[in-house]
Amino acid sequence: MKQALLVVDVQPSFSPPPDLVRDISRLAVRMPSIATVERHNEAVTPFERQLGWKPGLADDSLVSADRVFAKHGYLPPLEAIEYLRGLGTERVLVCGIQADTCVLAAGFALFDAGLHPTLIPWLSIGSSLDRSGELGARLWRHHFGAVLAGPDELMID
């Protein structure tokens, strides 16, 4: 099964732990990888008006990936999904920041695109509601079923 890695919003505004950035970075060089980074455009997504928050202007992905896609809002951009399809990807390993929101939204987008989203829970953290990411993993398991139990399930050559 051809697989790729999607790294969701590992950027300074979300204060990722250094070991999370390190471990995701080590995985990203071992397979095709893409990353998303949240950009603020109030006309597209009203984060500041509705939530009183917005990502920093200079936020870039802290993980070096083959491609980085800017997004506005929770979902990955269509261009990222099309890029993964163009690679012939079947299973998309997903990790990153806000397992219960943006990471989960990526799962829905991948699922709707006919891809097989698979969560890497030890490389994901949740929002301020549940920093452990457990809520996101439970929701992921309920909606998509595919949550890896450990690194041996990554299927890396």
Question: What pLDDT digit, counting tens, does each position of 44-100 carry?
Answer: 887 888 888 788 877 899 999 999 999 999 999 999 999 999 999 999 999 999 999
In a domain, 49, yes or no: no
**130: in domain:** yes
- pLDDT tens-digit profile of 105-143? 999 999 999 999 999 999 999 988 888 889 999 999 999
Strands 116-125 and 91-97: what pairing? parallel
Residue 90 lies in a domain: yes
Establish if 48 belongs to a structural domain: no
Integer Cα distance of 108 and 86 in angstroms: 19
25 occurs within a structural domain: yes
How many domains does the chain contain in total? 1
**Residue 50 domain-assigned (yes or no):** no
Task: Say how far apart CA 13 and CA 22 lie, in whole Å.
Answer: 17
Has residue 157 got a pLDDT over 80?
Answer: no
What is the domain-level CATH number for residue 38? 3.40.50.850
Give the model's pLDDT for residue 44. Answer: 82
The residue range of the domain holding 117 is 3-43+56-153
41 pLDDT exceeds 90? Answer: no
- pLDDT of 27 over the 80 cut: yes
Alpha-helix runs per DSSP H in the chain = 18-28, 47-51, 78-86, 102-112, 134-144
